[in-house]
Amino acid sequence: MGDPHAAGLPHGIDLTALVRRYEPVIRYTQGELFFPTAVDAYVEQSSLWARSAAQRERSQVIPHGGLDLDRLCGQARARADTEFELRYVPGALTRAESRQWRRDPDRPRFRSTSRFASVGLLGRIIDSLFRLSLILRGAVPGGLTAALHRTYSRSAAASQFPYYAHVSAHEQYVVIQYWFFYAMNDWRSTFGGVNDHEADWEQVSVYLVPVQGPSAEDSNADVPPGGSDAADVLRIAWVAFSSHDETGDDLRRRWDDPDITWIDGTHPVVNAGAGSHSGACLPGEYLVRVEPPALHGLLTGMSRVREIVLPWTRDRPRTGLGIPYIDYKRGDGVQIGPGTGRPWTPVLIDSGTPWVRDFRGLWGLDTDDPFGGERAPAGPRYERNGTIRPCWADPVGWAGLDKVPATPARQEAVEQGRLAALKSEEGALTASIAEQEEILQQMAFGASVLPPTVAAGRRGGIGATNRVRDQERVVEQLRASRRAALIEWEHITRARQDPPPPADAHAHLRHRALPDVDPARPPGLLLRFWTEVSLSVLLALLGLALLFNYSSIWRGTVTAILIVMTIEAVLRRRLAVFLLGVVAVGAILSLTILLITNLRQGIGLLALVAAVVVLFANLRASLGRR
């Protein structure tokens, strides 16, 4: 292996056998169009485009049919200051060709869930603005998905399923990264998601530790899958799936997590998002809420106002804010991996693999989208700006495992080092205190033989006393920390002799990803229809108000909004809550207007309201004491 992190791998280990042993099973959603494909076949089908730092327009370097991995790497090495991108197809299909593609009976079909039924009116308005922004932003053109799928589905690569395995060693962890390459991310155009981009790289990471003992966070667990064979030198401890929302600790799951399904004890099951290809442990439909950065402050402020006006909604999800998208990870479609009839083809890569090392460009069309969502990705090793991906350079820190010792021996070394450091610092401060006390005693003796008027002017003793007291407080804190560390170490030592029950597999998670939409209980047909047409109804009412009631534009606007929101409250069976909210908002607005127009009456009304509130509070407290 040409990877500098490969030096810590067990001597003589068969890497191919190792990656085959833990390769995942990926389950897709019915209607998925693109599956993992080979990079060499993709490159041979593609053209190469370039743009230098001084240019704005791209120029074609190698046309379709004239490229392979060797020529790609040669161009990348010879022109290191050039921005490259691959293009799998010459362009999008025409409208007529796209219609023919959609009518193709062999094309996989998908049945969606109404995402608008899970969000309020404001979210739907923001979604429309977001869609309109695609006109101004760089976006993948319509018909490109159809062109890519037609080319991909007719190629021999569509029936071959490779993954690219990167094996490295970090801090006593052996990490296997399974990289999967897709010709297209069609989440937006096919599945109503956030974005489209040509080409897609996703990964599944498996973290192995030596078999001498269980991992630090689960020092009492039984031997996990793959570790029962005495000839093995490694066992699985954690897995991590690439995901939209999770970072750090939330990326990884422990081997005994009940959310993970295992095939034959060693192959984790990944439920891939439709079009997005992101991974999840549990099958289902996940609601992804996107809040545009420019509107984050506004949406947060509106949420706080809602909680103040309607305090009983504080624990309710923010269903009315943000742009809702469903990441379909149903797992009811094609399956690839061990036991599925569609086996993987493993390919080992590392930092010395030429195409991994040399090509820093994009693996698809670059739309120059300023938000990045519609731009093609870089390869497994690099970010779009040419820097090395954190997950490649430090997969342990990427998943938050840099603070979790891999073995009991490593944990013992960490604990002993912490105790030694505390003891050393305590000793240094104790010696300093003794020195300060001696100086203080000398100063006190000198002050005792002087006249009172002279001794009173010697303030040095007061400063020394304060310094000693500060030092004593610090050393006492250190002693307390050392006692706590010793107690913790005693617990660890006893745990090895008499292991308690294993810790909760979800204890390290801040956010446990769970399906949000229940396919067995879809929203009613009437609600789905209303959420699709309500924004148009609102705009039509506003248009009529402007055309026929221009002198009362605000009254017409408020009336139109109230009509739409009332219909929605009835369909969602929240009419009572909605009416209470309207009354509360109306009361606050009326009071605000009264305060502005007539200060004396407004203050008087506030005093009456305060009197009623105080009376009820006092009576409640008094009755409660009885």
| Amino acid 542: pLDDT | 73
| Amino acid 318: pLDDT | 45
State the DSSP string of 476-500: HHHHHHHHHHHHHHHHHHHHHHS--
Claim to verify: residue 316 and residue 457 sit in the same structural domain: no
Claim to verify: residue 416 and residue 347 sit in the same structural domain: no
Would you say residue 204 lies in a domain? yes
Would you say residue 512 lies in a domain? no
Would you say residue 503 lies in a domain? no
**298 against 22, higher pLDDT:** 22
Claim to verify: residue 447 and residue 400 sit in the same structural domain: no
**What phi and psi values does residue 608 have, to the nearest 5 degrees?**
-65, -45
Q: For residue 198, list its beta bridge partners.
A: 184
Claim to verify: residue 20 and residue 112 sit in the same structural domain: yes
**170 against 349, higher pLDDT:** 349
Rounded to an integer, the average pLDDT of 37-48 is 96
Rounded to an integer, the average pLDDT of 116-120 is 58
Claim to verify: residue 74 and residue 183 sit in the same structural domain: yes
Of 358, 382, 406, which closes a domain? 406
Rounded to an integer, the average pLDDT of 599-613 is 76
| Amino acid 216: pLDDT | 41
CA distance 178 to 117: 36
Percent of the chain with pLDDT over 90: 37
Claim to verify: residue 258 and residue 321 sit in the same structural domain: yes
* 319 pLDDT above the threshold of 50: no
Residue 215 CB burial class (10 angstroms; 0-12, 13-18, ≥19):
buried
* 465 pLDDT above the threshold of 80: no
Rounded to an integer, the average pLDDT of 332-359 is 96
Claim to verify: residue 134 and residue 22 sit in the same structural domain: yes
| Amino acid 142: pLDDT | 85
Cα dist. 281→222, 490, 508 in Å?
21, 36, 16
Would you say residue 35 lies in a domain? yes
* 519 pLDDT above the threshold of 50: yes
Claim to verify: residue 416 and residue 355 sit in the same structural domain: no
| Amino acid 377: pLDDT | 95
Would you say residue 519 lies in a domain? no
Claim to verify: residue 272 and residue 165 sit in the same structural domain: yes
Characterize 364-386 residue by residue with b for buried, 16 or more Cβ atoms within 10 angstroms of its Cβ, and e for exposed: bbbbebeeebbbbbbbbbbeeee
**540 against 491, higher pLDDT:** 540
Claim to verify: residue 399 and residue 420 sit in the same structural domain: no
Domain encompassing residue 458: 409-497
pLDDT tens for each residue of 287-298: 776 655 555 555
Would you say residue 506 lies in a domain? no
Confidence of residue 610 (pLDDT cuts 50, 70, 90): confident
Rounded to an integer, the average pLDDT of 113-141 is 67
Reading the block at residue 178, the tokens are 């399974």
Would you say residue 101 lies in a domain? yes
* 589 pLDDT above the threshold of 90: no
pLDDT tens for each residue of 55-67: 778 899 999 999 9
CA distance 5 to 589: 64
Of 385, 406, 427, which closes a domain? 406
Lowest-pLDDT range, 104-113, 230-239, 491-500, 537-546? 491-500
Of 354, 382, 406, which closes a domain? 406
| Amino acid 133: pLDDT | 67
Claim to verify: residue 91 and residue 162 sit in the same structural domain: yes
Residue with tokens 């299909």: 93
End-to-end Cα spacing for the chain? 78
Confidence of residue 540 (pLDDT cuts 50, 70, 90): confident
Rounded to an integer, the average pLDDT of 89-108 is 91
State the DSSP string of 44-103: HH-EEEEEETT-SS-EEEE-TTS--HHHHHHHHHHTTTEEEEEESSSSPPPHHHHHHHHT
pLDDT tens for each residue of 203-240: 999 999 988 644 444 444 455 555 444 336 888 999 99
| Amino acid 168: pLDDT | 94
Confidence of residue 116 (pLDDT cuts 50, 70, 90): low
| Amino acid 229: pLDDT | 42
Lowest-pLDDT range, 99-113, 272-286, 323-337, 571-585? 571-585
Q: At 357, is the secondary structure helix, strand, or coil? A: helix
| Amino acid 509: pLDDT | 86
Number of folded domains that form the chain = 3
Rounded to an integer, the average pLDDT of 250-268 is 94
Would you say residue 152 lies in a domain? yes
pLDDT tens for each residue of 391-439: 999 999 999 998 887 665 655 555 666 666 666 766 666 676 666 666 6
| Amino acid 601: pLDDT | 74
Q: What is the pLDDT of the chain when averaged over all its residues?
A: 78
Lowest-pLDDT range, 59-73, 288-302, 362-376? 288-302
Claim to verify: residue 380 and residue 447 sit in the same structural domain: no
| Amino acid 225: pLDDT | 59
